């Protein structure tokens, strides 16, 4: 096949969005899970935002001038994130996905990111195998959690919207937990009005950008994350991603009526520190 790769642009949003929706829907339904995105329009809106963002790099695969897939690299913070990567279902198992992934990994090397991460659907054994062959290491089993807002307040904690004045304190928490900050993502969330912080004793001990599929959270303790989850008015998207190994937080969510939607896996290449605190990854990492 004469597949060519080129940088993506906003004009690619519609064909890439349609493929993104179809690809995720097809794979999910084959395994009996709900699709990550509810409609082609939502997928197109999502990719429009990524294609227009100056810190995202996009690559598009074409066959005979027709778009057949795309992949994205989030360069907003110290560690890069990959995704979403999607290929036209009619072009599956023809190495298009491998080419898109290798292209982005080459970009990671060129830009000298110390590490790169992604989250994959644990039921999709082909993508797990592909990423492992490309050098990714499985780091954390995840569970997508969804349900009604909890309206739970943790004793001693207060939760409020984050502002740019909170940026440095939030970054310190992230560095404490992960060894690096996610400043670019957090700043975007603050500007969009979706970020929240948890305070204990007048000190910031955690933040979320928000508690959602496309948001991440970090906390010095599980109680800080419980405060953020308990205060969330909704869990946008399929739900939020919770590290399944965090048994205390996992059980707390289940005991408060949240349910597991599907399993996922956090994978990485390069820099990775075992978290020294509580965290919720985004679908990027």
User: Do both 232 and 106 map to the same domain?
Assistant: no
Q: Taking 80 as the threshold, does the pLDDT of residue 194 lie above it? A: yes
**Over residues 35-51, mean pLDDT:** 97
Evaluate whether residue 140 is within a structural domain. Answer: no
Co-location of 150 and 274 in the same domain: yes
pTM comes to 0.95
Q: Is residue 1 pLDDT above 80, yes or no?
A: no
Tell me, what CATH number does 263's domain have? 3.40.630.30
Are the beta carbons of 94 and 1 closer than 8 angstroms? yes
Domain-located, residue 191: yes
In a domain, 128, yes or no: no
Is 160 inside a domain boundary? yes
Classify residue 141: in a domain, yes or no. Answer: no
Residue 109 and residue 165 share a domain:
no
The pLDDT-based confidence of 126 (bands split at 50, 70, 90) is very high
Same domain, 275 and 154: yes
- Find the mean pLDDT for residues 144-160: 98
What confidence score (pLDDT) does residue 93 get? 75
134 falls within a domain: no
At 224-249, the pLDDT tens digits run 999 999 999 999 999 999 999 999 99
| 151 phi, psi to nearest 5 deg | 50, 50
Residue 107 sits in the same domain as residue 26: yes
Same domain, 109 and 25: yes
Are 153 and 77 part of one and the same domain? no
User: Average pLDDT over the chain, rounded to whole?
Assistant: 97
Residues 64 and 160 in one domain: no
Q: Is residue 124 part of a domain?
A: no
DSSP assignment of 37-106? SS-HHHHHHHHHHHHH-TTEEEEEEEETTEEEEEEEEE-SSSSEEE---EE-GGGTTSSHHHHHHHHHHH
Residues 180 and 102 in one domain: no
Mean pLDDT, residues 155-176 taken together = 98
In this structure, the answer to whether residues 150 and 258 fall within a common structural domain is yes
Q: Report how many domains make up the chain.
A: 2
Buried b (16+ CB within 10 A) or exposed e, 174-207: bbbbbbbbbbebbbbbbeeebbbbbbbeeebbbb
Instruction: Identify whether residues 181 and 88 lie together within a single domain.
Output: no
- Using one digit for the tens of pLDDT, what is the confidence trace for 83-110? 999 999 999 878 999 999 999 999 999 9
Range of the domain at 200: 146-280
pLDDT at 165: 98
Instruction: Quote the percentage of the chain above a pLDDT of 90.
Output: 98
Q: How confident is the model at residue 2 (pLDDT cuts 50, 70, 90)?
A: confident
What's the pLDDT at 74? Answer: 98
pLDDT of residue 92: 80
Average pLDDT over residues 145-152: 98
Residue percentage of the chain with pLDDT more than 70 = 100
243 in any annotated domain: yes
Mean pLDDT of 267-281: 97
HSE-up of 93 (CA within 13 Å, CB side)? 5
């Amino acid at each position: 096949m004469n597949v060519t790769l080129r940088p993506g642009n906003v004009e690619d949003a519609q064909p890439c969005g349609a493929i993104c929706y179809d690809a995720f829907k097809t794979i999910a339904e084959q395994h009996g899970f709900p699709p990550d995105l509810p409609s082609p329009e939502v997928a197109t809106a999502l990719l429009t935002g990524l294609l227009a963002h100056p810190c995202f790099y996009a690559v598009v695969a074409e066959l005979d001038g027709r778009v057949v897939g795309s992949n994205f690299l989030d360069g907003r913070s110290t560690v890069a994130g990959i995704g979403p990567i999607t290929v036209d279902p009619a072009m599956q198992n023809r190495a298009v996905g491998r080419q898109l992934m290798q292209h982005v990994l080459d970009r990671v090397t060129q830009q000298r990111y110390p590490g790169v991460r992604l989250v994959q659907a644990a039921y999709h054994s082909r993508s797990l195998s592909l990423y492992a062959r490309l050098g990714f290491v499985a780091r954390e089993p995840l569970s997508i959690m969804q349900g009604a807002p909890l309206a739970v307040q943790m004793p001693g904690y207060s939760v409020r919207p984050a502002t740019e004045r909170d940026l440095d304190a939030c970054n310190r928490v992230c560095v404490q937990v992960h060894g690096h900050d996610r400043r670019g993502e957090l700043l975007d969330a603050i500007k969009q009005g979706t970020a929240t912080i948890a305070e204990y004793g007048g000190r910031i001990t955690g933040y979320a950008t928000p508690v959602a599929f496309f948001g991440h959270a970090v906390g010095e303790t599980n109680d800080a994350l419980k405060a953020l989850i308990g205060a969330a008015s909704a869990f946008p998207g399929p739900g939020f991603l919770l590290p399944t190994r965090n048994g205390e937080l996992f059980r707390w969510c289940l005991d408060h009526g949240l349910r597991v939607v599907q399993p996922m896996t956090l994978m990485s290449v390069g820099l990775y520190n075992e978290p020294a605190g509580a965290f919720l990854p985004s679908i990027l990492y």
